[in-house]
A and B are shown apart, each in its own frame.
Chain A
Amino acid sequence: MCSAPIRPSEITPEHVYLSRRRFVGGGAALALGAGAAHALSEDWLTARGFRPGMPIEGEETTPVQYATAYNNFYEFGTDKDDPARYAHEMTVDPWTVEVAGEVGKPGKLGIEDLLANVDLEERVYRLRCVEAWSMVVPWIGFPVKTLLDRFEPTGAAKFVEFETLHRPDEMRGQRSFFSGIDWPYREALRLDEAYHPLAIFAVGMYGKVLPNQNGAPLRLVVPWKYGFKSIKSIVRIRLTRRRPSTTWNDLQPREYGFYANVNPTVDHPRWSQASERRLPSTLFSPNRIETRMFNGYEEVAPLYADMDLRRNY
């Protein structure tokens, strides 16, 4: 016997479902007593609070509906609207992050414990994609240094590698037969880059916790590099002696360098990087602006003082 098809009216609307989840979560928190709201909910962020940031002078912050609906997160598909459509299929609670490699205290921690003592602050950053479009996003997070220091990197550590969740059941792009990407997605920084005060881990944006499509619950934001370096939904961090291999660099080393610093003088082989389209653009204007060295974050230049950035792109 076959069952009757589900009528649309029988499907629980998302907001009801979500509020039910929140209710259950709240109940669990009450049961535990401590009042600890469950992992990275809106309540968690409200309870934690964060230091507000300054907008970028003369540059408008991208409206939230664009920053959360136009994403490159190939784990959920290659179209810009795929992540917003499918990222809800990813479970972000519970979430653990493993820190390993050249550290004195390796470990695997739940996201709540990982964030227990960090001070959150807002940072309004330009986000420049290697595809020559850009946005301005108010992130909420904390310096990468804060987290790494807790695990006590050894003197031998020279690089830090990050890895995104690999869970094909919940990430349909990872199931795609035609994907050229060798999952999980991996990115890395030189340790001194990671320790630069501009490099942050983000847990929120626009005053709220990160939506899944933007890399919940924990992502990297390195504003002077092309967006693909700012890896999303991190589950593993590894400090290494040697330069780790990274996803896009493995796939097309000519097109995506390890450093991937925003640099208007080094073109991508398939397009110019001299200018970018600041989104949203409109039907009547591509909204093209000049791209700036290091995406306008000149203070990172000393990190590359004795390097030829045309060769180390």
Chain B
Amino acid sequence: MNPSAARYRWTQTALVALLCIPLAILAYDFVREIRQPGVAFGPDPAETIVRYLGEWAIRILLATLAVSPLARLLRRPRLVRFRRTFGLAAFSYAVAHFAGYLVLLAGLDAATFLADFVERPYITVGLAALVLLVPLAVTSTRGWQRRLARNWRRLHRLVYAIGVLACIHLLWLSKGDYMDAALYGGLLALLLGERGGRYTMSRRRRRGA
């Protein structure tokens, strides 16, 4: 193995470990909570856990979106190789977030879930974001990338819409204070704005040529 490949492996492993830290903390607290109810998650463990997973899902999703602008900014194009790891981590946290909701909040009750899905627009929007993530996770492999060729990029632009849906989900959950929604929405606007700006510039350049 050449040194650069070894370094890549190393970084990749470290990154996966890093992205597992929030989950590890949750697992640790989970054990504490089972031993002595109330110590780790307070009086409303379901809400606490579901919120926590959701927050990490949106943070890592934004990190995913930040990889390519960062690679451009640092002039290190090979950083883009790590985008998939971030994306899959965001997907995993989103799945865990939804599973947490289903089991802990809806109590695995189909009627409760259906009522929520219909009555609460923020749940509809959140679930839409999760469903849209599925094809991206499935086609995230190199094989699918080759198979889909040009269409792969088109398909994966869905992540922009997913980011917007996730922020709407957060905004519609908010009551009275919009700090989180403003923070994550602002970051998303920045990341999407950067792409929009580049797109406009490249079009102008092409037209000028």
Contacts and interface: CB of A to CB of B under 8 A. Distances in A.
Contacts of B175: 78, 131
Interface in B107-137: 107, 115-116, 119-122
A281 to B, nearest CB: 6
A66 B176 contact: no
A312 interface: no
Contact of B177 (A78, A277, A286, A288): A78
Nearest to A256: B175
B38 A251 contact: no
B119 A180 contact: no
Contacts of B119: 267, 270-272
Interface in A54-113: 62-63, 65-66, 69-70, 74, 78, 80-81
Contacts of B105: 286
A275 B82 CA distance: 45
Nearest to A84: B42
B104 A286 contact: yes
A272 to B, nearest CB: 6
Q: How large is the interface on A (under 10, 10 to 19, 20 to 34, 35 or more residues)?
A: 35 or more
Interface residues of B, number: 27
Given A283-B45, A283-B104, A286-B104, A65 B115 contact: no
A133 interface: yes
B6 interface: no
Nearest to A70: B43
Interface stretch (B29-37, B90-98, B145-153): B29-37
A180 B176 contact: yes
Interface stretch (A158-166, A171-179, A232-240, A303-311): A171-179
B121 to A, nearest CB: 7
A181 B176 contact: yes
Contacts of B25: none
Interface of B: 30, 33-34, 37-38, 41-46, 104-105, 107, 115-116, 119-122, 172, 175-179, 182
